[in-house]
Amino acid sequence: MCKRMEGRIALITGGGTGMGAAVARLFAKEGAKVAIMGRREAPLKETIQKIRSEGFEASYFCGDVSKESDVPNVITKVNELYGPVDALVNCAGVINSQPEEPVEMTGERWDWLMDINAKGIFHTTKHVVANMVKSSKKGTIVNIASTCAHQASPGYATYSASKGAIIAYTRVIAAQYGSYGIRANCISPGVVHTPMSYVEMPNFDSRIPEFDRAHPLGRIGQPEDIAYAVLFFSSDESSWITGQDLIVDGGWTIGD
């Protein structure tokens, strides 16, 4: 049986935990040579160890997507190890540790959220797309947005703005580089059980039954639910799809 990512070289940001780790493991199983990037070495190493223990090839690189100088350094190392990246997945992101009051939001806090969530995607896309064009790679880019970009989420104005920016940016990249065979799409997850859930809500576990009931499909999401959507957008199965944003939320946004 042909693996859907056979021969692909994938770079996944935020690959140490949550959705990024799930994407990394799935891509490796589907035949990709996987490189993950993140700020913290311990979770990156743990994810790579899991992938290698399953008999697949993967490596990790420490770097902060909000710092542009970190990104080309990592891409150069991936090029040297595997070759030019042809599947970029931007999973790195942060969220408010508590709901914000927009009139009290500081410029420093705004910049922190935007630098990681939005500018980080600009940094990786800028350098990966340049390499794709230079090496004539018909590559794919998948960016993780959020249902917060589609629904008003009081308390999360800045986070929502950062995710809305991702969707708009992705569409332009898709339009501007489609002639090179480069595709760019977004996934907008709903409520997914990841470590970031506990940053936003330390009592997240106690609220899972409530969230489950709020979903037409009767449960919150798991990282693997998002990983399979990312796989679809990164594989030839979606070869005629670009500039799109796929909501993957168990029906959350169609509820009351």
- The string over 78-109, giving b where at least 16 C-beta atoms fall within 10 Å of a residue's C-beta and e elsewhere, is bbeebebbbbbbbbbbbbbeeebeeeeeeeee
Any idea which residue has 């939001």 for tokens? 105
Please list, in sequence order, all residues whose beta carbon lies within 8 angstroms of the beta carbon of residue 176, skipping any fewer than 6 positions away: none
For the question of residue 180 being annotated catalytic, the response is: no
Q: Which helix (H) or strand (E) element contains residue 240? A: none
Q: Taking Cα atoms as reference points, which of 158, 217, 163 lies closest to residue 189?
A: 163
Any idea which residue has 């798991």 for tokens? 222
| DSSP category for residue 102 | G
Q: Which residue among 60, 159, 169, 177 is the active-site one?
A: 159
Separation of alpha carbons 89 and 28, rounded Å: 13
**φ/ψ of residue 150, rounded to 5:** -110, -25
Q: Catalytic positions, please?
A: 159
